[in-house]
């Protein structure tokens, strides 16, 4: 599948979409998966002929302001990037009052699934780690913290290239990180018209700010700033 909406759900409510339905110029093919936040459908762009992953807020979360806000954050964050190791966002829209995003369809596995099947070689581990680090640096350059980096949010395509997905928990930081040619990081302020704000965790509950075993230590503590710099 292309992207995750939290951990997979064993069972869920009846889908909002169904195979054969048209969502603007996208034709729905089949459900790829769903989780706590919503659903991911395989669809075809009838204008360009390419397959896409259509991600929507789940029917059980339509009245949730938090779910809609998270969905909006993901779209806004993903739209900022053009990077080989970050999933590409094609379009944002709404169908029947349900917001959706059309994302790059990646044929492959999540890193979580792959690790569950086999132990990677040293070279594979280094290549994947480098790809994720490169994607993270790109996000930091744009003043965005992913805040939920984990194997389930890394897709490895059949081409072998890893992509980071699911920026639903992403937050803006007051000063995006700019990297010098030698690799050192340095901070510079947002433009004056940018809606900059510190990435301070408002709630200490792990379920609200990330996945516990992959969270940075400061994410566990109320009021602690989560930054993009390295200690």
Residue in 195, 214, 222, 221 with CA at minimum distance from that of residue 77: 195
Calculate the CA 198 to chain-centre distance. 20
209 Cβ contact list (under 8 Å, min separation 6)? 147, 169, 201, 203, 215, 219
148 noted as active-site residue: yes
Taking residue 224's Cβ as centre, other Cβ atoms within 10 Å add up to 14
Residue in 203, 196, 149, 202 with CA at minimum distance from that of residue 176: 196
Residue in 80, 73, 23, 29 with CA at minimum distance from that of residue 51: 29
Q: What is the CA radius of gyration of the chain?
A: 18
Q: Write down the catalytic residue from 148, 159, 180, 202.
A: 148
Catalytic residues: 148
């Amino acid at each position: 599948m292309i992207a995750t909406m939290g951990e997979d759900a064993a069972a869920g409510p009846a889908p909002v979409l169904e195979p054969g339905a048209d969502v603007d110029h996208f034709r729905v093919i089949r459900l790829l998966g769903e989780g706590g936040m919503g659903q991911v459908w395989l669809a075809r762009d009838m204008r360009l002929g390419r397959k896409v992953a259509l991600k929507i807020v789940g029917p059980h979360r339509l009245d949730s302001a938090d779910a809609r806000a998270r969905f909006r954050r993901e779209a806004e964050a993903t739209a900022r990037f053009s990077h080989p190791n970050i999933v590409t966002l094609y379009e944002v829209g709404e169908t029947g009052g349900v917001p959706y995003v059309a994302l790059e369809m990646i044929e492959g596995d999540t890193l979580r699934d792959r690790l569950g099947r086999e132990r990677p070689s040293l070279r594979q581990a280094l290549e994947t780690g480098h790809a994720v680090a490169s994607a993270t640096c790109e996000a930091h350059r744009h003043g965005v913290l992913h805040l939920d980096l984990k194997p389930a949010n890394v897709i490895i395509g059949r081409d072998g290239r890893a992509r980071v997905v699911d920026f639903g928990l992403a937050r803006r930081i007051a000063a995006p990180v700019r990297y010098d040619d030698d690799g050192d990081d340095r901070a510079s302020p947002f433009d004056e018209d940018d809606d900059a704000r510190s990435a301070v965790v408002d709630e200490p509950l792990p379920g609200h700010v990330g996945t516990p075993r992959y969270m940075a230590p400061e994410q566990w503590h109320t009021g602690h700033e989560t930054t993009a710099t390295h200690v």
